[in-house]
Amino acid sequence: MDLAMDQERKATENFILIQYVYIAMSVTYLLLGLHSNSKLLKLVLKCSPIATLLGLIGYSAFNIFNGLGPLLPGNTLNNLWCLFWGILFSLLGDMYLVFDSMFLLGIVSFSMTQGIYAYFFNGAQLLLGISTGLEQQQIITALAIGLVSAIFYCYVYPKFSWKMSVLALLYCVLTSTMLWSAITRAQLTPSTPNLTAAVGACLFYISDLVLALKKWRFETPIADIVVMVTYYGAQLLIVRSVFTPLS
């Protein structure tokens, strides 16, 4: 019994340590890589935090398999698989966005992430709700998010090429669905993990809006910082939403 408790305590400590490493790497990128002229340095520092999250998911899956993981009740290894693929496509997107010539591939990669997250948050229940009837608060939330997204898309649309206009529309729909999925889950089943996921989804949405404004409308001195702070915060909160609170 003492050995099992010691193993679980060690697993928890390592789990917390990996999160601290993630935060440290995120800050390192903001300080050293964000405005670096070296594409290689930028690539390595930008992708390191997200690669760390992949390691966190892998480590957690190993511990769960051995009965030591801090996975919340109601979640399974399938949830971790969803997170794994969502984070993996985010990592690919981060790599592509370092290079201007690969921007479209970055959008495609993050589109995959948004679709996976939309399903991960509440996809099955939302599909069931659409087929059987949505509750009033779900409809109101969908209309509010849809209105904001539509206004924003129309605002940046004049700067798009025809190819980008189609891809951006698809991404806008997926991002809006992802946000709606996370918020409605928190509304219908209020809990700290669900609220954590909803806040993470909101941060991801904000990050995308600021990035689009920066690229197609106007530059601001703090735009890059806002994009990355909200993005790194979003990813950590989304991953943390499936794990039990750690002391």
pLDDT tens profile 117-128: 998 887 656 655
> Which residue in the block uniquely carries the two structure tokens 């966190």?
56
| Mean pLDDT within 186-200 | 90
Residue 56: C-alpha distances to residues 16, 50, 51 (Å)? 9, 10, 9
Q: Which residues pair with 71 in a beta bridge?
A: 243
Q: Give the per-residue pLDDT at 8.
A: 61
Q: What is the 3-state secondary structure (H, E, C) of the chain?
A: CHHHHHHHHHHHHHHHHHHHHHHHHHHHHHHHHCCCCCHHHHHHHHHHHHHHHHHHHHHHHHHHHCCCCCECCCCCHHHHHHHHHHHHHHHHHHHHHCCHHHHHHHHHHHHHHHHHHHHHHHHHHHHHHHHHCCCHHHHHHHHHHHHHHHHHHHHHHHHCCHHHHHHHHHHHHHHHHHHHHHHHHHHHCCCHHHHHHHHHHHHHHHHHHHHHHHHHCCCCCCHHHHHHHHHHHHHHHHHHCCECCCC
- Give yes or no for residue 202 having a pLDDT over 50: yes
- Give yes or no for residue 13 having a pLDDT over 80: no
| Mean pLDDT within 97-121 | 93
Q: Give the per-residue pLDDT at 73.
A: 47
Report angle CA 194, 112, 203 to the nearest 5 degrees: 40
- Give yes or no for residue 3 having a pLDDT over 60: no
- Give yes or no for residue 70 having a pLDDT over 60: no
This prediction has a pTM of 0.89
Q: Compare 170 and 12 and report the one with higher pLDDT.
A: 170
| Mean pLDDT within 17-36 | 92
- Give yes or no for residue 10 having a pLDDT over 80: no
Give the model's confidence band at 152: pLDDT under 50 very low, under 70 low, under 90 confident, else very high.
very high
Q: Compare 38 and 5 and report the one with higher pLDDT.
A: 38
| Mean pLDDT within 60-74 | 62
Give the model's confidence band at 191: pLDDT under 50 very low, under 70 low, under 90 confident, else very high.
confident
| Mean pLDDT within 229-233 | 97
Q: Give the per-residue pLDDT at 1.
A: 47
List the one residue out of 231, 234, 187 whose CA is nearest residue 210: 231
